[in-house]
Chain A
Amino acid sequence: MAINTLIVDDSAVMRSMILKTLRMAGVPLGDIHHAGNGRDGLDILNEQWIDLAIVDINMPVMSGEEMIGRMREDPEMKDIPVIVVSTEGSKACIERLEHMGAIFIHKPFTAEIVRDAIKDLLGLGENDESKT
């Protein structure tokens, strides 16, 4: 199973770090799409088949929280699994995101944390992991 993944973060370096971490974690990746804010992320979700969205919170133009809220209101996107990767430290904000079905990962993160979150969210077993 190859996972088509959307990475949404306003930092190009952080998007590259997340992709590097996904590869280190052995996640079987399909097509990778990048966006620098929530609005561009929604545009990609409208155009591409995405299995997993990895989203930052504090971004210009449209925040990750607003993006996820709009995803959950859209019948075509509401079931797409979302992982939030953010420095957000407010318990209330994290609980709001989890209430929307997202798994929260705090920056800085390790490959193991990302791998475990994806396994939980997508129900992957060891046989699904990439051999590369």
Chain B
Amino acid sequence: MRAKLEEILFRVAIDTLEKLAFMFAFPGEDKENQQKGSMAAGSVSFTGHFSGMLVMTISIEVLQELSVNMLGLEDGEEIDGHIRSDALKETINVICGNLLPAIAGDKVIFDIDVPRILPAGEKIRAGAGIPDGLAPSARVNLKFDEGQCVFFLFLDGEMPKEVVSL
């Protein structure tokens, strides 16, 4: 099931970033703790057919490009930190909104919470309220010219049987 979830998460993330911000990514290396440089992080929780949380970490340089492209600004234009945060929250919201029906189909209902920005570095798990020792059900790394972006999908408990069978 993990491989299937990661395939769906990868496809949705790539498609969303391309359409939302004209950004093209490649699969990154699947190594733990490989993130270097300054990172930002956001999360969004969801409840419904199954519940959980999507966490996104992103290099500051990639977030800057994401924000510039979403707003249609020129490269190098200064952007306030709160605009970058808003761009990150909206991106993770759109990815989560497309991910859940891609996993479970369009007949089920999910309630997606308001996205939020997480403290950087080692405090991400604590800031997101993820229990110690809980492994992500899916993890996807995307590589860009300027840095990287990593998605972690955490699920509460078991997936419903009909979803597992997908």
A residues sitting closer than 8 Å to B (CB atoms) are 10-14, 16-17, 20, 58, 60, 86-93, 106-110
Contact = CB atoms under 8 A, between A and B. Distances in A.
A20 B98 contact: no
Given A13-B71, A91-B106, A92-B109, 17 more contacts: A13-B67, A13-B70, A13-B83, A13-B90, A16-B70, A17-B72, A58-B93, A60-B114, A86-B97, A87-B93, A87-B94, A89-B98, A89-B106, A90-B106, A90-B110, A106-B98, A107-B20
B112 A11 contact: no
A107 B86 CA distance: 16
Q: Which 6 interchain pairs have the tightest Cβ spacing?
A: A87-B97, A89-B101, A108-B19, A108-B20, A11-B90, A91-B106
Interface in B96-114: 96-98, 100-101, 106-110, 112, 114
B139 interface: no
Contact of A11 (B89, B101, B108): B89
A12 B71 CA distance: 10
A90 B97 CA distance: 10
Nearest to B106: A91
Interface of B: 15-16, 19-20, 67, 70-72, 83, 86-87, 89-90, 93-94, 96-98, 100-101, 106-110, 112, 114
A29 to B, nearest CB: 15
B contacts with A: majority SS:
helix
B96 to A, nearest CB: 7
Contacts of B97: 86-89, 107
A123 B112 CA distance: 34
A11 B86 contact: yes
| Residue of A12, A87, A110 contacting most chain B CB atoms (<10 Å) | A87
B87 A13 contact: yes
A109 B89 CA distance: 17
18 contacts: A11-B86, A11-B93, A13-B71, A13-B86, A13-B87, A20-B72, A58-B112, A87-B93, A87-B96, A87-B112, A88-B97, A89-B98, A89-B100, A89-B106, A90-B106, A90-B107, A91-B106, A110-B19
